[in-house]
């Protein structure tokens, strides 16, 4: 690989083998950074430091980076630890916060817990605050699932300087579209995002809620999924979990495919079958509604 094609890639996730694993995203994040590093790219991985991630066992070292972030008037201080992905040059940064991560033995608290929203908002803001102090200016910021999707909103609204006037790109991977991180709009006050600016049909609003998965989809430069088949399925009425039109109506530069593979979305016209999963020989009336950023459409098949 020549020097002019060597990229700095930041991968942000909530789990990665061998540090923490609950789902398939951990396997991807434990292997993909190594493969990219083997191609000559400079890769860093950002994770939360959950309770089960033992600092002594993994040889975690302090970077000396600490940031205090105000959330709903309460100051939260985070620190950044560092190690490497085993058998690779990939640097792994872990965000430390005892109250939201360190004291918990479980990776996830549950979608019905407001603290689940708070902790991953803090994770996103904390890592973005820390990046300049760590001396890492990524060319690509790769986000995964709803928990890291707030990074995309922050990067477009309050941390635009990290994109270096378009020099950096956001990649968002959907591993499981069903889990979208929805919450009532009051969470935006804790997130530090201006409701008037982001809580719109073209922004984070989704049937009256904030939808962080939607944030990742609309604010990323490229959207990827875990497989070509899944990429096809989530753009259908049956498997889109309400976000199929949001995915399908992405701007013309959007792509859907597997990580590392760009495949442009096809252009769809009402009256032409979109995907094999739609029911043949009937008319489907679908009301997307104001909150999903769609309109009432009829698909004749």
C-alpha neighbours within 13 Å on the C-beta side of residue 253: 8
Whole-number pLDDT of residue 13: 98
How high is the mean pLDDT of the chain? 84
Does residue 260 register a pLDDT over 90? no
- Domain 3-220 sits in CATH at 3.40.50.2000
Q: Strands 74-84 and 61-71: what pairing? A: antiparallel
Per-residue pLDDT band at 39 (split at 50, 70, 90): very high
pLDDT digit string, tens, across residues 141-176: 999 999 999 999 999 999 999 998 889 999 999 999
- In this prediction, residues 106-116 reach a mean pLDDT of 91
Whole-number pLDDT of residue 232: 86
Does residue 231 register a pLDDT over 90? no
Q: What percent of the chain has pLDDT over 90?
A: 72
Give DSSP secondary structure letters for 167-194: TSEEEEEES-TT---EE-TTHHHHHT--
Does residue 45 register a pLDDT over 80? yes
Whole-number pLDDT of residue 35: 96
Whole-number pLDDT of residue 165: 85
Whole-number pLDDT of residue 4: 57
Give DSSP secondary structure letters for 109-138: --TT-HHHHHHHHHHHHHHHHHHHHHT---
Does residue 52 register a pLDDT over 50? yes
Whole-number pLDDT of residue 285: 29
17, 23, 28, 30 alpha-carbon torsion, rounded to 10°: -10
- In this prediction, residues 26-42 reach a mean pLDDT of 96
Per-residue pLDDT band at 111 (split at 50, 70, 90): confident
Residue environment code for 237-271, b if the CB has 16+ CB neighbours within 10 A, otherwise e: beebebbbbbbbbbeeebbbbbbeeeeebeeeeee
- In this prediction, residues 253-275 reach a mean pLDDT of 40
- How far is residue 291's CA from residue 202's CA, in Å, rounded to a whole number? 9
Q: Strands 140-144 and 8-12: what pairing? A: parallel
Does residue 262 register a pLDDT over 60? no
């Amino acid at each position: 690989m020549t020097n002019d094609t060597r990229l700095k890639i930041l991968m942000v996730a909530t789990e990665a083998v061998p540090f923490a694993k609950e789902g398939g995203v951990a396997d991807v994040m434990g292997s993909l950074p190594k493969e990219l590093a083997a191609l000559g790219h400079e890769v860093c991985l950002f994770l939360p430091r959950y309770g089960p991630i033992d600092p002594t066992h993994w040889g975690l070292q302090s970077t000396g980076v600490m940031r205090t972030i105000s959330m709903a008037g309460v100051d939260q201080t985070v620190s950044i630890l560092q190690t490497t992905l085993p058998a690779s040059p990939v640097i792994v940064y872990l965000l430390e916060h005892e109250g939201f991560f360190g004291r918990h033995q479980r990776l996830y608290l549950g979608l019905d817990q407001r603290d689940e929203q708070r902790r991953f908002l803090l994770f996103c803001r904390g890592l973005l605050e820390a990046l300049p102090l760590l001396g890492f200016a990524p060319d690509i910021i790769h986000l995964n699932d709803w928990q890291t999707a707030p990074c995309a909103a922050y990067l477009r609204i309050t941390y635009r300087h990290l994109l270096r006037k378009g020099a950096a790109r956001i990649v968002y991977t959907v591993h499981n579209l069903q889990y979208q991180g929805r919450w009532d709009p009051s969470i935006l006050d804790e997130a530090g995002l201006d409701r008037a600016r982001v809580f719109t049909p073209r922004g984070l609003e989704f049937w009256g809620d904030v939808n962080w998965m939607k944030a990742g989809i609309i604010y990323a430069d490229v959207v990827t999924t875990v497989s070509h088949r899944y990429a096809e399925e989530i753009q259908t009425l049956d498997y889109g979990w309400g976000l199929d039109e949001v995915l399908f109506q992405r701007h013309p530069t959007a792509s859907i495919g597997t990580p590392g593979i760009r495949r442009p979305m096809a252009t769809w016209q009402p009256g032409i079958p979109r995907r094999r999963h739609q029911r043949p020989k009937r008319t489907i009336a679908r009301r997307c509604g104001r909150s999903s950023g769609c309109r009432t459409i009829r698909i004749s098949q």
